Amino acid sequence: MNEYIKNTLKNEYVKNTLKVAGEVLITPGISLLGEGKTQDGVIHAGVGLLGKTLLGVPGLLLVGASSFYRSLKADEKPIEVDGSDRIKDLSEKVRTEMVAGMTLEEIKAGIQEDIEDAYFEIQQSNKPE
């Protein structure tokens, strides 16, 4: 196995172990606080205390599991896309290239290259360091 992959897996394992330990030993919501999700973390802490009061330890564990799951989702980087702007940009690009005398095949090839470039940029930005 590649050394980069081994280190990445090891770091994720340690990070997730600390998150679970915090949820169980400190308070539900601690892993969200660690991800910078302050509001969600505080809410989970409050609901965790309420859950413990009403259901005992199982209530606390249920809320902790919810918080841990949400913190895992917080690691994912959302990609915001405004389709209308992209369509306008694409239409403008096609119009400009048509005026420049490019054929449909040349325009398609250029757009495909742009898509591939964007794909690999996003793929690189989602790799853990």
Buried b (16+ CB within 10 A) or exposed e, 57-73: eebbbbbbebbbebbee
Is the pLDDT score of 104 beyond 80? yes
Helices of type H across 26-56: 30-34, 38-55
Q: Identify whether residues 89 and 115 lie together within a single domain.
A: yes
14, part of any domain = yes
What's the predicted TM-score (pTM) here?
Answer: 0.52
pLDDT reading at 83 higher than 60: no
Per the CB < 8 A criterion, the answer to whether 68 and 19 are in contact is: yes
Q: Does 4 fall in a domain?
A: no
Assigned domain for 61 exists: yes
Confidence bin at 68 (pLDDT 50/70/90): confident
Residues 87 and 114 in one domain: yes
Q: How many residues does the chain have?
A: 129
Residue pLDDT, tens place only, 8-24: 667 788 888 888 888 88
Nearest in space to 16 (alpha carbons), one of 40, 35, 2, 3: 35
Q: Does the pLDDT of residue 28 top 60, yes or no?
A: yes
Q: Per mean pLDDT, which range of 43-52, 96-105, 108-117, 120-129 is the poorest?
A: 120-129
Nearest-angstrom CA–CA distance, 58 and 48: 10
Q: Are residues 35 and 60 in the same domain?
A: yes
Range of the domain at 69: 9-74
pLDDT tens sequence across 31-67? 888 888 888 888 888 888 888 888 888 888 888 888 8
Residues 18 and 61 in one domain: yes
